[in-house]
Amino acid sequence: MRVAILTSEAVPFAKTGGLGDVAGALPKALRAAADVDASLVLPLYEQTDRALLRERIIDNLEVEWGGERRRVSVWYSEAAGAPAFLIDAPHYFARPNLYGYADDHQRFAFFSRAALELLKRLGSPPDVVHGNDWQSGFAVAELHSRRAFDPFFARARTLLSIHNLAYQGAFDPSDLGWMGFTRRETRDAFAHEGAAVALKAGLMLADALSTVSRRYAAEIQTREQGYGLDWLLRMRRERLVGITNGVDYEVWNPETDPHTAAHFSADDLSGKRECKLDLLRRFGLPEEPDRPVVALISRLVAQKGYDLVRQAAGKILETGAFFIALGAGAKEYEDFLQSLHTRAPHRVGVYVGYAGEPLAHQIEAGADIFLMPSQYEPCGLNQMYSMRYGTVPVVRATGGLDDTVENFDRARGTGNGFKFIRYSADSLLGSVYEALYCYAEPDVWRRIQLNGMRADNSWAAAARRYVEVYTAVKRM
Ligand code: ADP
Ligand code: GLC
């Protein structure tokens, strides 16, 4: 089975969030679990470390674009543990950020076309083209019409994975024509409330759909969480599955982590204390290892529940806990974090910006409690990383957070974290207080930590489920 995974980001080449982690881990997991010939195709960005690239394997890939032929080159790498092809189109991708430009739709439509052109040049028809998020909507739409007249793609099937339904890739429909999307059926698939919407085209035309947890698969079929596309997801629900993301335990492993001050495991947690002291030092906080550290790492957007954090922060500090946050995004939340630090410099550690991998690992290893009070969360990875590092997650029961975190039950000694349901600062605080009470009883806390550390969220099971979907879609 040959699968080409198209993505806008993948570790170790480029990352802004969880999609990068997932796309970086899945091809390797597929190859290990089921001998699937999986490869990655992504853009070559300015931020990509050139040392990861092995060779330029194509220097003249022709891409039809706006009535002319553009030439791009393609780089090859195995740094993700599987073949990866990086499309070098500097006009669109040699920029400081991955996303956030007025021509994003053109950038990823171009990338999608180049990716299909590349597959053709490589010469072995893919069984499945597996796209991710709105950026791959263009590839799905293009393949859908192309396989009718291009024998190379005649048997190729498509799977589109939704990592976040809120990001849809809307643009002015008058761009569709010159970008080459001229067929009536294709244009209709893009059309949504007066705009052209790349995600909608993908959801409409893909042979199969998946998203990153079971709970989120159900949630996006409701009006409240459907972002205007719930009707389409209900219509195609027979084709939609929820597959919970895994954790790459080669990368997120407290026993071997190259970024942390010490190593530890479920059998010997002593190194965690050293990691905590190291974390406090890094943030210039007093070395008081008995005081709990409440931490948070996320994009600073409303999705992540920052409004609740803002309302609850004062009360959390009143408990005497340290508060450490890493994040980049909306200015209002960045300002809030800075002002919290100014208010309580000996209790609060803040890093505003995208810090890359080391600091994220150091926080996971050194913290005691990890907050994820998300409004919605398709899957969420940090709660699973936290559990592996003996850091107890406090989460809102939504999407993948609900699927992966089990509320601690004192009487039975079961559960690996704390969950609250209502989206309110009081509910968040209720769970934080509960966690802190347990923290004060070392034996109880140890039980919760071990329950989390022993949970198996590895990629193997998820990879097997993807193979089932690929197999089913191949028969369509
Ligand atoms: P999302 O994809 O919605 O951002 P996830 O929980 O799936 O949420 O994944 C977030 C990933 O991005 C994690 O690997 C996390 O450590 C990382 N991350 C988020 N913000 C930052 C940041 N400012 N610096 C470093 N890593 C970050
Ligand atoms: C998205 C979601 C996040 C998920 C990630 C990887 O960015 O917001 O919940 O874990 O994709 O699938």
pTM to 2 decimals?
Answer: 0.97
Q: Is 121 exposed, middle or buried (0-12, 13-18, 19+ CB in 10 A)?
A: middle
| Atom in ligand 1 nearest the alpha carbon of residue 383 | 6
Ligand 1 centroid–CA 119 distance in Å is 30
Name the fold adopted by 2-246+460-474.
Rossmann fold (3.40.50)
- From CA 124, how far away is CA 1, in angstroms rounded? 11
Q: Which pLDDT score is estimated for 356?
A: 87
The number of beta carbons lying within 10 Å of the beta carbon of residue 13 is 26
- From CA 432, how far away is CA 322, in angstroms rounded? 13
Q: Which of 5, 19, 134 maximizes ligand 2 atoms within 8 Å of its Cβ, making it the mutation to test the pocket?
A: 19
| The two three-digit tokens of residue 19, written as one number | 């999609």
Domains 2-246+460-474 and 270-456 share a fold: yes
Amino acid code (one letter) for 180: G
- Residue % of the chain over a pLDDT of 70: 100
pLDDT, tens digit, 9 for 90 and up, residues 4-31: 999 999 999 999 999 999 999 999 999 9
Q: Which pLDDT score is estimated for 166?
A: 98
Q: Is the CB of 357 under 6 A from ligand 1?
A: no
pLDDT, tens digit, 9 for 90 and up, residues 305-341: 999 999 999 999 999 999 999 999 999 999 999 999 9
| The two three-digit tokens of residue 160, written as one number | 């589109």
| pLDDT-based confidence at residue 437 (cuts at 50, 70, 90) | very high
The alpha carbon of residue 100 and the mean position of all alpha carbons in its chain are separated, in whole angstroms, by 17
Q: Which residue matches tokens 């890359």? A: 356
Q: Which of 7, 11, 21, 324 maximizes ligand 1 atoms within 8 Å of its Cβ, making it the mutation to test the pocket?
A: 21
- From CA 286, how far away is CA 304, in angstroms rounded? 28
Q: Which pLDDT score is estimated for 408?
A: 98
- From CA 118, how far away is CA 41, in angstroms rounded? 9
Q: Is the CB of 25 under 6 A from ligand 1?
A: no
- From CA 398, how far away is CA 379, in angstroms rounded? 9
Q: Which pLDDT score is estimated for 106?
A: 98
Q: Is the CB of 202 under 6 A from ligand 1?
A: no
Question: Nearest residue CA, atom 14 of ligand 1?
Answer: 18
pLDDT, tens digit, 9 for 90 and up, residues 30-63: 999 888 999 999 999 999 999 999 999 999 999 9
Ligand 1 centroid–CA 154 distance in Å is 38
Ligand 1 centroid–CA 145 distance in Å is 35
Regarding beta strands 191-192 and 195-197, do their DSSP bridges make them parallel or antiparallel, or are they unpaired?
antiparallel
* Domain residue limits, the chain: 2-246+460-474, 270-456
| pLDDT-based confidence at residue 125 (cuts at 50, 70, 90) | very high
Ligand 2, CB cutoff 6 Å, lining residues: 17-19, 22, 163-164, 212, 245, 377-381, 400
Ligand 1 centroid–CA 177 distance in Å is 36
- From CA 462, how far away is CA 28, in angstroms rounded? 12
Q: Which of 133, 252, 297, 391 maximizes ligand 1 atoms within 8 Å of its Cβ, making it the mutation to test the pocket?
A: 297
pLDDT, tens digit, 9 for 90 and up, residues 378-429: 999 999 999 999 999 999 999 999 999 999 999 999 999 999 999 999 999 9
Q: Which pLDDT score is estimated for 34?
A: 80
Q: What one-character-per-residue DSSP string does 66-85 give?
A: TTEEEEEEEEEE-TTSS-EE
- From CA 36, how far away is CA 352, in angstroms rounded? 40
Q: Is the CB of 360 under 6 A from ligand 1?
A: yes
- Read off the pLDDT of each residue in 448-467 and give the average, rounded to a whole number: 96
Ligand 2 centroid–CA 7 distance in Å is 13
CB 411 within 8 A of CB 254: no
The domain 270-456 is placed in CATH, from the list 3.30.1360.30, 2.120.10.30, 3.40.50.2000, 3.90.550.10, at 3.40.50.2000
Q: Which pLDDT score is estimated for 35?
A: 80
Q: Which pLDDT score is estimated for 469?
A: 97
Residue 214 has pLDDT above 90, yes or no: yes
pLDDT, tens digit, 9 for 90 and up, residues 224-243: 999 999 999 999 999 999 99
